[in-house]
């Protein structure tokens, strides 16, 4: 019975939030009606995404649940979507964070709820679209679309100077996508296709002018690196995190750029990626240390989270451009773990901000006695972020550091490990300043309301997930590995037969072979 | 040989002319005190009929009428439908936004329809003298419309500026036509195409083409012939700008396509680099100037110059892909531009009490509907996917890359980054929460007319629908643009083969 929706499940996932957005826009703006519609929509789309891992045939490389229909005849653009081991759990992660985002905004967004939730849901569609698109134009479409709701919502709900932060965010991410589009058009002019699988095959088996191709690869990389962000392209992230509605910052952070690097940069241009890898490894390690150092000195917890994100995301960049299979699967795992932890931390910090109307760390203190539940959850999430063994953060960080140590360079691995230690520093210090120590008069005067049911209902699964992901990572890593590391004999057989199995990075098998 | 009655070849123009005359006559026969609003409905209905008539022309065999002076083909129908569509939307906007006491309201509607006659004829004329006449019909109507707010200083200024510079440009065009005749002995476009390659005096032919291009590029407000645009848009009433910024440009672009691709294909070696330079200039000048504007209409005027540049990028495309891209862009540009000017009209009002970007602050809080629509059209103008603006730009740059002009595509897309700056400035100001101290402002930034009337509502709905359709399912429009492109190319192809034999 459920099998029958396999062929259209990805379309449903894509359209569910959009339908919700239209519904929110049309429904009357009465009390919390938009909130409820958004919550139900996001829960429904989360359930839909769970269909994917439930029916995913593990151990089989290539895309599943594929849909490939012509969208526009000339130029040949296809509605081509599908998931493989690489994107499968990322889609689920997007689905999971959506209801968390709605609940985070539940009390924080008081005005113009209709516009907020419509745009939030449009953002969901764009995110799903990026992860499942296998046609470069379609992918580019969702990639650009994802900027719009974010920019508008930052402007609408910015804490201090929304429009300025929104403009910064938009231009930082929009301008690099101009070269990306030219690069895509160039590929189309050369190959006559936007299809990822076709392009991967043609790029691997045909001779292109090497100079032009490395420019094209650079255009791809540049757009993705800004989005992650990789040091020194991180100028937008601090303002964005401190101005954006919490829910938006939570769903946007990191994932899109990192996934795109694996899928479209390394996946399409393995040779060029290898040429750039040393530079990116260096930038990533700098990013890890730089982000951590800046996080240590922030006075505002959103800015602290922004630089913490720079540090953590750079670690994943290190894993990706280490160009080892262990690093890749560790990196993808870390994206998932980081998404869950960030979700929990943003929810908690958002809850604190709603209660005390400030994001200045110095205004807090000694909350643990008054908000015991919030304190407990916050400590668990922080420990996961730090990478305490048996929690999900450890698995990813350990895999990344060890694969860097073995496969890339001991020096870089040690440097990155220092960054991870600094990470423990700023997180624990944040916990201490927020929840322990003497009570701060600024917050003591306000009523102490511990986490409500709705918040607990979202946080508890996230925390359980952190534990399960820490204890039994193989539930996830098995499928991730089929995405980044397809079985080789099968792979070669297919390549001879017709075209290579379209796994994200299969074309780059040679990378490790030559290493 | 030609069984189609000549009159069928210009049926839409005939219907429009009759409508215009009817509106004028009824206007004259009404008592001075009688409200003239219903004349607008007559004009809108007549234009709708003209639109149907152009669609009906698809059933005619392609060919020319009136001694080879007008053509009907997919290409002409494409632009007829586009122009009639724009005129309908402009009329609907005017219906709800022209104040009841406007002077000469009946003439307003008649002039809009007469302008449409000229623009439609311009796209189907294949004889340069008819082109000239059509251009004059459309220009004279728009000169008058531009000065419709006589009581303000800026209205007459706009009209006079438009008229003087416009006449100057038309003189260039006419001079070009004369030189074409001198070089080839004909003013019929098909014949020009045949005779130019064998003409004795190639320099004269090139000079003629250059003159024609100057005249046409003025009409599409491409840099460096753009200086009139901001002043005219600022001075003309907003409902007129809805029309002015789109329909005459679409018609002029159709003419440009005809001249470049159909009449002078053998001189592409001259026209392509020239248009390359004009495209780059228009984008850059338009965008950089728009960044500094405080007046919304002036900003959008400069943005329209930049859009003319994006459209001209398509002319780097070889053959039908360039023509199709340019035609499609004209449609996409029209859809979003009529939309945004309609919103600006509603926000600023006919008398433009709120013309500045800062006056739009918090629009989305004051009027969620208008605010959302403004954001939507701005998003399309920025060129975000799934809107007409993106697909037009994308297709235009595909044509450019296909024609080998990668530098042009890169310049164009970087320009769209600059453009995002000022579009976003307006969008974000409109999305910003109004400052608390402004909350009790009875005089300043009072709520705009929250009552979006039926007519203007329909106009906005049409614009939104067109923008979305062109962005999400552009297939059918794209196909008609491509078919139109082939009809523009086909006679040339057969002619050149016969010449070769």
The answer to whether the CB atoms of B428 and A171 lie below 8 A apart is no
Q: Which residues pair with A83 in a beta bridge?
A: A64
Cis amide linkage into residue B224, ω under 30° from 0? yes
Tokens for A73? 């005849």
Assigned domain for B499 exists: no
A179–B372 CB contact, under 8 Å: no
pLDDT higher at A486 or B163: B163
Compute the average pLDDT of residues B416-441.
76
> A192: nearest CA in chain B?
B402
Banded model confidence at residue B15, pLDDT cuts 50, 70, 90: very high
Residue B110 in this model has a pLDDT that exceeds 90: yes
Per-residue pLDDT band at A191 (split at 50, 70, 90): confident
Neighboring chain A residues of B428 at a CB cutoff of 8 Å: 151-152, 155, 162-163, 166-167
Q: By three-state DSSP, how is residue B71 classified?
A: strand
Looking at per-residue pLDDT, the higher value among B207 and B103 belongs to B207
**Percentage of residues of chain B with pLDDT beyond 90:** 50
* pLDDT more than 70, % of chain B: 94
Q: Does residue B145 lie within any of the structural domains?
A: yes
Chain A residues with CB under 8 Å of B416 CB are: 178
Residues of chain B in contact with residue A145, where contact means CB-CB under 8 angstroms, are 384-386
pLDDT for res A239: 84
Looking at residue B451, what is its pLDDT? Answer: 64
Q: How far apart are CA A158 and CA A156, in angstroms?
A: 6
Compute the count of residue pairs across chains A and B with CB atoms less than 8 Å apart: 108
Please give, rounded to a whole number of angstroms, the shortest distance from the CA of B280 to a CA of chain A. 16
SS3 B423: helix
Mean pLDDT over residues B197-203, rounded?
85
Q: Which of B327, B373, B386 to mutate to test the interface with A (most CBs of A within 10 A)?
A: B386
Nearest to B410 among A145, A152, A182 (CB): A182
Task: Tell me what pLDDT residue B492 has.
Answer: 39
DSSP string covering B76-105: HHHHHHHHHHHHHHHHHHHHHHS-TT-TTH
To the nearest whole Å, the CA of B53 is away from the closest chain A CA by 28
With beta carbons under 8 A apart, name residues in chain B contacting A73: 475, 478-479
Q: Would you call B406 and A174 a contact, using CB atoms and an 8 Å cutoff?
A: no
> Is residue B475 within 8 Å of B98, Cβ to Cβ?
no
Which pLDDT score, from 0 to 100, does residue A492 have? 43
Which residues in chain A are contacts of B384 at CB distance < 8 A? 144-145, 147-148
Cβ-contact A341, A393 below 8 angstroms? yes
Instruction: State which residue of chain A sits closest to B471, comparing Cα positions.
Output: A141
Q: Six-digit token pair at B474? A: 């552009």
CA distances (Å), A54 to each of A3, A92, A475, B394, B445, in order? 10, 11, 12, 39, 55
pLDDT band at A393 (very low <50, low <70, confident <90, very high): confident
CA of A188 vs chain B CAs: smallest distance (Å): 9
Q: Among A115, A171, A182, select the one facing B364 at the smallest CB separation.
A: A115
Would you call B475 and A71 a contact, using CB atoms and an 8 Å cutoff? yes
Contact at CB, A115 and B390, closer than 8 angstroms = no
Taking CA A240 as the corner, what is the angle to CA A322 and CA A91, rounded to the nearest 5 degrees?
A: 55
Predicted pLDDT at B460: 92
pLDDT surpassing 70 at residue A502: no
Q: Mean pLDDT of all residues in chain B?
A: 87
Banded model confidence at residue B171, pLDDT cuts 50, 70, 90: very high
pLDDT-derived band of residue A489, with 50, 70 and 90 as boundaries?
very low
Q: Provide the residue ranges of all domains of chain A, joining segments of one domain with +.
A: 276-484, 486-515
Which residue does chain A place closest to B374, by CA atoms? Answer: A152
Q: Given this model, what pLDDT does residue B308 score?
A: 93
Query: Averaged over B166-179, what is the pLDDT?
Result: 93
B500 inside domain: no
**What is the structure's pLDDT at B154?**
83
Would the CB atoms of A144 and B390 count as touching at under 8 Å?
yes
Asked if pLDDT for residue B418 goes beyond 60, the answer is: yes
In the DSSP assignment, the letter for residue B59 is: G
How confident is the model at residue A476, as a pLDDT? 83
B176 or B424, greater pLDDT = B176
pLDDT band at B290 (very low <50, low <70, confident <90, very high): very high
Q: How far apart are CA A229 and CA A246, in angstroms?
A: 18
Position B495 scores a pLDDT of 39
Of residues B386, B431, B475, nearest to A152 (C-beta):
B431
| Residues B113 and B27 sit within 8 Å (Cβ to Cβ) | no
Per-residue pLDDT band for A495 (boundaries 50, 70, 90) equals very low
**Residue B479 belongs to domain spanning:** 6-489
> Domain total for chain B?
1
Q: Of A492-496, A508-512, B277-281, give the range with the top mean pLDDT.
A: B277-281
With an 8 Å Cβ cutoff, the interface of chain A facing chain B consists of 71-75, 111-112, 114-115, 137, 140-142, 144-145, 147-148, 151-152, 155-158, 162-163, 166-167, 170-171, 174-175, 178-179, 181-182, 185-186, 188-189
What mean pLDDT comes out for the span A277-284? 91
Distance of alpha carbon A290 from alpha carbon A296, whole angstroms: 10
Residue-level pLDDT at A182: 87
**Range in A108-112, A213-217, A328-332 the model is least confident about:** A108-112
Q: Please tell me the distance from the alpha carbon of residue A368 to that of residue A436, in angstroms, as a whole number.
A: 6
> Which chain A positions have a beta carbon within 8 Å of B409's beta carbon?
182, 185
Closest-CA distance, A45 to chain B, in angstroms, reads: 22
Q: Over 80: is that where the pLDDT of A34 sits?
A: yes
CB contact under 8 A, B416 and A144: no
Q: DSSP string spanning A465-510?
A: HHHHHHH-THHHHHHHHHHHS--HHHHHHHHHHSS----TTGGGHH
**Cβ proximity of B139 and B200 under 8 Å:** no
Q: Check A75 against B427: CB less than 8 A apart.
A: no
Q: What is the tens place of the pLDDT at every residue in B310-328? A: 999 999 888 788 899 999 9
What mean pLDDT value characterizes chain A? 84
| Band of pLDDT at residue B2, cut at 50, 70 and 90 | low
Q: Which of A142, A156, A178 sits opposite B416 (nearest CB)?
A: A178
DSSP one-letter string for B4-15 = S-HHHHTHHHHH
d(CA B16, CA B45): 10
Mutate to test the interface with A, among B411, B414, B428, B439 (most CBs of A within 10 A): B428
The structure tokens 């409820």 sit at A36
SS3 B63: strand
pLDDT tier, B41 (very low <50, low <70, confident <90, very high otherwise): very high
Cβ–Cβ gap B401/A182 under 8 Å = yes
The alpha carbons of chain A give a radius of gyration, in whole angstroms, of 22
Is a pLDDT exceeding 70 seen at residue B34?
yes
ipTM above 0.90, yes or no: no
pLDDT, one tens digit per residue, over A146-180 is: 888 888 888 888 777 778 888 888 888 888 888 89
pLDDT for B307 equals 93
pLDDT-wise least confident of A211-225, A361-375, B242-256 = A361-375
**Which of A199, A197, A196 shows the shortest CA–CA distance to A208?**
A199
Both tokens assigned to A272: 């060029």
Which of these, A355, A348, A356, A352, lies nearest to A380 by C-alpha position? A348
Separation in Å, CA B201 to CA A162, B185, B213 = 63, 12, 19
- The lowest-confidence range among A239-253, A275-289, A473-487, B223-237 is A473-487
Average pLDDT over residues A296-324: 89
Report the candidate in A147, A173, A153, A163 with the shortest Cα–Cα distance to residue A236: A173
Choose between B449 and A247: higher pLDDT: A247
- Positive or negative, the CA dihedral B486, B491, B496, B501 is positive
Please give the pLDDT value at position A253: 67
Residues of B with CB under 8 A from a CB of A: 364-365, 368, 372, 375, 379, 382, 384-386, 390, 394-395, 397-398, 401-402, 406, 409-410, 413-414, 416-417, 420-421, 424-425, 427-429, 431-433, 474-475, 478-479, 482
The long-range contacts involving B99-102, CB below 8 angstroms and separated by at least 24 positions, are: B99/B350, B99/B351, B100/B35, B100/B37, B102/B148, B102/B350
* In the predicted structure, residue B162 carries a pLDDT above the cut 80: yes
Mean pLDDT of A212-224: 90
Query: Do A130 and A259 touch, CB atoms closer than 8 A?
Result: yes
Q: Residue B335 has what pLDDT?
A: 93
The pLDDT tens digits for A358-385 are 888 888 888 888 888 888 999 999 999 8
CB contact under 8 A, A189 and B417: no
Give the pLDDT confidence score for residue B497 in this predicted structure.
Answer: 35
Whether B352 has a pLDDT exceeding 80, the answer reads no
Q: Please indicate, yes or no, if residue B501 is contained in any of the structural domains.
A: no
Per residue in A310-322, pLDDT (tens digit) is: 898 999 999 889 8
Angle formed at CA A357 by CA A39 and CA A120, multiple of 5 degrees: 25
Burial B341-368 (b: 16+ CB within 10 A, else e): bbbbbbbbbbebebbbbebbbbbbbbbb
| Of the candidates B169, B391, B396, the residue with the CA atom closest to the CA atom of residue A145 | B391
């Amino acid at each position: 019975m459920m099998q029958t929706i396999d062929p259209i499940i990805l379309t449903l996932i894509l359209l569910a939030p959009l339908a919700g957005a239209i519904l929110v826009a049309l429904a009357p703006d009465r009390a919390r009606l938009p909130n409820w519609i958004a919550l139900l929509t996001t829960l429904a789309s989360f359930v839909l995404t769970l269909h994917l891992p439930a029916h995913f045939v593990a151990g089989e490389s290539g895309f599943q649940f594929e849909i490939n229909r012509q969208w526009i005849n000339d130029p040949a653009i296809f509605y081509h979507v599908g998931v493989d081991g690489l994107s499968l759990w990322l889609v689920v992660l997007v689905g999971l964070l959506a209801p968390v985002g709605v609940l985070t905004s539940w009390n924080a967004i008081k005005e113009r709820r209709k516009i907020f939730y419509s745009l939030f849901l449009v953002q969901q569609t764009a995110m799903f679209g990026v992860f499942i698109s296998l046609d470069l134009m379609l992918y580019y479409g969702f990639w650009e679309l994802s900027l719009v709701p974010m920019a508008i919502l930052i402007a609408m709900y910015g804490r201090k100077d929304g429009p300025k932060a929104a403009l910064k965010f938009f231009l930082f991410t929009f301008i690099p996508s101009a070269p990306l589009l030219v690069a895509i058009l160039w590929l189309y002019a050369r190959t006559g296709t936007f299809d990822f699988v076709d392009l991967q095959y043609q790029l691997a088996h045909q001779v292109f002018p090497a100079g032009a191709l490395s420019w094209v690869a650079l255009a791809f990389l540049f757009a993705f690196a800004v989005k992650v962000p990789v040091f020194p392209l991180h100028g937008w992230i601090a303002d964005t995190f401190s101005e954006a509605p919490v829910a938006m910052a939570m769903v946007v952070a990191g994932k899109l750029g990192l996934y795109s690097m694996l899928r479209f940069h390394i996946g399409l241009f393995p040779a060029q990626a290898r040429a750039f890898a040393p530079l990116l490894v260096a930038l990533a390690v700098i990013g890890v240390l730089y982000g951590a150092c800046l996080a240590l000195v922030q006075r505002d917890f959103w800015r602290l989270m922004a630089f913490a994100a720079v540090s953590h995301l750079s670690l994943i960049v290190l894993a990706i451009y280490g160009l080892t299979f262990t690093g890749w699967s560790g990196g993808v795992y870390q994206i998932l773990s980081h998404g869950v932890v960030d979700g929990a931390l943003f929810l908690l910090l958002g809850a604190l901000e709603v209660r005390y109307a400030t994001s200045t760390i110095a205004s807090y203190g000694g909350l643990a006695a008054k908000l015991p539940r919030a304190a407990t959850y916050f400590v668990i999430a922080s420990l996961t972020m730090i990478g305490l063994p048996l929690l999900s953060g450890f698995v990813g960080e350990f895999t990344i550091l060890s694969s860097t140590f073995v496969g890339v360079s001991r020096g870089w691995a040690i440097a990155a490990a220092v960054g991870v230690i600094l990470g423990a520093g700023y997180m624990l210090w944040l916990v201490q300043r927020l929840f322990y120590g003497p009570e701060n008069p600024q917050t003591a005067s306000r009523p102490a309301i511990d986490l409500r049911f709705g918040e607990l209902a979202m946080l508890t699964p996230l925390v359980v997930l952190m534990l399960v992901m820490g204890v039994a990572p193989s539930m996830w890593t098995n499928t991730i590995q089929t995405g980044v590391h397809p079985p080789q004999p099968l792979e070669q057989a297919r390549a001879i037969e017709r075209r290579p199995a379209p796994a994200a990075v299969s074309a780059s098998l040679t990378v490790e072979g030559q290493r | 040989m030609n069984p189609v009655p000549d009159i069928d070849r210009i049926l839409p123009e005939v219907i429009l002319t009759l409508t215009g005359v009817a509106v004028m006559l009824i206007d004259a026969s009404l008592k001075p005190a009688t409200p003239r609003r219903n004349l607008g409905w007559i004009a809108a209905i007549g234009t709708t009929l003209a639109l149907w008539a152009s669609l009906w022309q698809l059933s005619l065999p392609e060919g020319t009428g009136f001694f080879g002076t007008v053509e009907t083909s997919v290409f002409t129908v494409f632009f007829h439908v586009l122009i009639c569509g724009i005129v309908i939307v402009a009329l609907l906007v005017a219906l709800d936004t022209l104040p009841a006491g406007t002077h000469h309201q009946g003439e307003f509607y008649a002039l809009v329809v007469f302008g449409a006659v000229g623009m439609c004829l311009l796209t189907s004329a294949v004889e340069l003298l008819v082109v000239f006449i059509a251009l004059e019909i459309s220009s004279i109507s728009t000169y008058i419309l531009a000065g419709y707010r006589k009581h303000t200083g800026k209205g007459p200024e706009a009209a006079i500026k438009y008229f003087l510079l416009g006449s100057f440009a038309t003189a260039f065009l006419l001079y070009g036509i004369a030189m074409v005749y001198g070089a080839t002995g004909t003013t019929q476009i098909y014949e020009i195409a045949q005779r130019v390659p064998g003409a004795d005096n190639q320099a004269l032919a090139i000079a003629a083409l250059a003159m024609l291009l100057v005249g046409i590029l003025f009409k599409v407000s491409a840099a460096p012939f753009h200086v009139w645009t901001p002043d005219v848009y600022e001075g003309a009433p907003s409902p007129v700008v809805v029309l002015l910024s789109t329909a005459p440009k679409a018609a002029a672009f159709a003419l440009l396509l005809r001249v470049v691709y159909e009449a002078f294909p053998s001189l592409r070696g001259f026209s392509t680099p020239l248009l390359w330079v004009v495209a780059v200039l228009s984008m850059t000048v338009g965008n950089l100037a728009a960044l500094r504007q405080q007046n919304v209409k002036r900003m959008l005027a400069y943005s329209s110059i930049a859009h003319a540049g994006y459209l001209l990028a398509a002319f780097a495309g070889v053959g039908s892909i360039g023509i199709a891209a340019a035609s499609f862009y004209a449609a996409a540009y029209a859809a979003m531009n009529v939309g945004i000017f309609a919103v600006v009209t509603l926000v600023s009002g006919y008398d433009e009490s709120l013309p500045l970007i800062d006056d739009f602050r918090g629009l989305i809080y004051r009027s969620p509907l208008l605010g959302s629509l403004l954001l939507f059209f701005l998003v399309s103008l920025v060129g975000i996917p799934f809107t007409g603006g993106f697909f037009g730009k994308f297709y235009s740059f595909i044509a450019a890359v296909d024609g080998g002009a990668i530098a042009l595509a890169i310049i164009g897309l970087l320009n769209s980054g600059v453009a995002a700056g000022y579009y976003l400035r307006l969008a974000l100001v409109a999305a910003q929460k109004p400052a608390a101290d402004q909350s009790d402002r009875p005089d300043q930034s009072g709520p705009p007319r929250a009552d979006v009337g039926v007519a203007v509502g329909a106009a906005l709905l049409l614009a939104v629908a067109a923008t979305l359709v062109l962005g999400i399912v552009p297939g059918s429009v794209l196909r008609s643009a491509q078919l139109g492109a082939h009809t523009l190319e086909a006679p040339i192809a057969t002619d050149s083969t016969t010449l070769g034999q």
